[in-house]
Amino acid sequence: MTTLTNARLVTPDGVRNGWLRVAGDRITGMGTGETPGGEASTDVGGRWVLPGGVDVHVHGGAGAAFSDADPQAAMRIVEHNRSHGVTTLLGGLVAASPADTLRQVAALAELCDTGDLAGIYLEGPYIAASKCGAHDPELLRDPDVDEFSQILKAGRGHVRMITVAPELPGALELVRAATAEGVVAAVGHTEADYEQTRAAFDAGATMATHLYNAMRPLHHREPGPIAAALNDPRVTVELINDGVHVHPGAARLVFDTAGSERVALVTDAMAATGLGDGEYTLGKLRVLVRDGQATVAETGAIASSTIVLPDAIRRAVHTLPGEDGVGLAAAARSATATPARALGLERVGELATGNRADLLLLDPELNVAGVMYGGAWTRPL
């Protein structure tokens, strides 16, 4: 048992000065005022204490990709994220052939069995070729409920989310099939108009994949999926806040419209994350990284990001319009409690008694200063 003292605790309700107790792998108490005595304590020096980050859309890092179908390589991604304060993540896959998809899902299910991954996310293959982004267009196909059933079987109950373009034949049937199996359906990589997008939400979709990117743009007479998602209180919208995918002014608009309770900060990070500039692959596509920005070599399309989730939190506070951006409490909520709730992930994403002791400590400039995962320091103070 240990107690963190002199802490600035960041909760969904705001920030308070206080203490937090950890016993084993759980948070067992927290409060303000006088610190409980008679136990070991660690003075964190007034640092911000957040829940560990929850990234529900990440494809790789540290030179590895989840699509490698190699559990050992996938653990490099997990460990890289943990060292940077991201303690819960889904293993994200891009479009692949039917056989490769089954092989990849089965491999990631092994890390879900051990609890190292919180689930599996399929960004393809049921997306629009015209909005394929960094997905190989030759591997895209119309939604197929029978194939989806095989994917679920290979995933052994660990498939958590799938992105679908609502305008494709069979899309609404796929959305209904996914939600019936407890899989979150997301709208993305789509040419859908406002009405088609609304139909997907009415069928059960509850997420919008990296809002703005790889979807029909917002227009005042043809509002499309962006307005449909922002207007619907049932929908959580992903936002890649890396300064490349979305302009700060457009990111601020999302926060002001949907609120941090419905904005999930994600990275969409790829294998190059943590390694610097160079040439990499995403699925079967060549990706060039220059000055931290990843693009598909053949088309120039933006290809994922190279940030980790605390970078998105810091940018939400320091670079979005307005004094203190959206504020640390709101930015933290969008990187923790909101994605956890949207995906039905339990005991993570919030500083609360009984939750897993996953903690991210930030210094006054919001740089990572310490990380705890399951009650153990993975990045000591």
- Residues marked active site are found at 268
Tokens 């490698």 correspond to: 68
- Check: CB of residue 39 under 8 Å from CB of residue 2: yes
Phi and psi at residue 12, to the nearest 5°: -60, -20
Residues forming the annotated binding site for Zn(2+)? Answer: 123, 189, 210
Structure tokens at 210: 């990296």
Describe the strand order of the beta sheet including 91-93 as a list of residue ranges. Answer: 91-93, 120-122, 159-164, 184-187, 207-208, 236-240, 263-266
Q: How far apart are CA 140 and CA 131, in angstroms?
A: 11
Distance in angstroms (rounded) separating the CA atoms of residues 130 and 141 = 12
* CA–centroid distance for 284 within its chain: 22
Q: Which residues are annotated as a binding site?
A: 123, 189, 210
Beta-bridge partner residues of 163: 186
Question: How many beta carbons lie within 10 A of that of residue 274, not counting itself?
Answer: 19
Angle CA 333–339–340, to nearest 5: 95
Residues 6+ apart with CB under 8 A from 312: 239, 240, 241, 242, 265, 266, 267, 331, 335
Assigned token pair, 16 = 């308070």
Question: What tokens appear for 56 in the block?
Answer: 């529900």
Return d(Cα 351, Cα 367) in angstroms, integer: 19
- Closest Cα to residue 184, out of 166, 159, 167, 165? 159
CB 158 within 8 A of CB 112: yes
CB 74 within 8 A of CB 112: no
